[in-house]
Amino acid sequence: MLTRKQHELLMFIDRHLRDTGFSPSFEEMKEALRLRSKSGIHRLITALEERGFLRRRAHRARALEVIRLPEGVTQRPAAETPAPRAAAMPPNVIRGNFAPNLAGQKAAPEAAAVHLPLYGRIAAGQPIEALRDQGSSVEVPLALLSSGEHYALEVSGDSMTGAGILDGDTVIIRRGEVADNGDVVVALVDDSEVTLKTLRRHRSSIALEAANPAYETRIFGPDRVKVQGKLVGLLRRY
């Protein structure tokens, strides 16, 4: 027997799959269920998997599959609200001295797409700005962007594959120094290492959490971690 929240989430995922052809993001699920953090969605999905209602397909972004619906549900429920547009999904490790004054590019409101500066795979100890090809940029649909400045990063590594972020993906980052608990952020550690991870605050410490069980969660004092931006989108070429 499902709890009320488990039932609501299963119905929302099923409706979203039928409406759009792909599963909703964790942000969309969090908003739909009016939860305060994405960790609650993780727990609900795990419970639905254990009960045989959902299946997660590994190494694919937003890859949830409804296996079965609760007894007594014989037809698709009427949509209560339109499914939100795709939201941010989470990324990987990039090393280097990430300059705090790194410039971004504001999106032009009248444009259908905008060219963002692309900062590629970088080596430890070298600043992103020194390695960036000044002519390198990526075209991003305006719908993926919000207010503020944005830039793109090429993901290196597999530490966030469980969140659908793969080696070689391009992630879109909104510049900023503030992030909520559970957001995926660009974090500057000890002013020398840059990593893209899920941010968790635990009292007087900050945890940078991977989405791959092969990687341990890293714990730091608050003075050792600076937020450099927040993930708002992902691009992938096939």
Active site residue 197: yes
Strand residues in 120-212 grouped as ranges (E): 137-141, 149-154, 170-175, 184-189, 193-202, 205-209
Active site residue 230: no
Q: Are the C-beta atoms of residues 41 and 33 closer than 8 Å to each other?
A: yes
Neighbours of 216 (CB within 10 A): 8
CA atoms within 13 A on the CB side of 24: 26
Active-site residue (options: 23, 30, 156, 197): 197
Active-site residue (options: 30, 38, 159, 226): 159
Q: Are the C-beta atoms of residues 125 and 96 closer than 8 Å to each other?
A: yes
Separation between Cα atoms, residue 196 and residue 66, nearest integer Å: 30
Q: Which residues are catalytic?
A: 159, 197
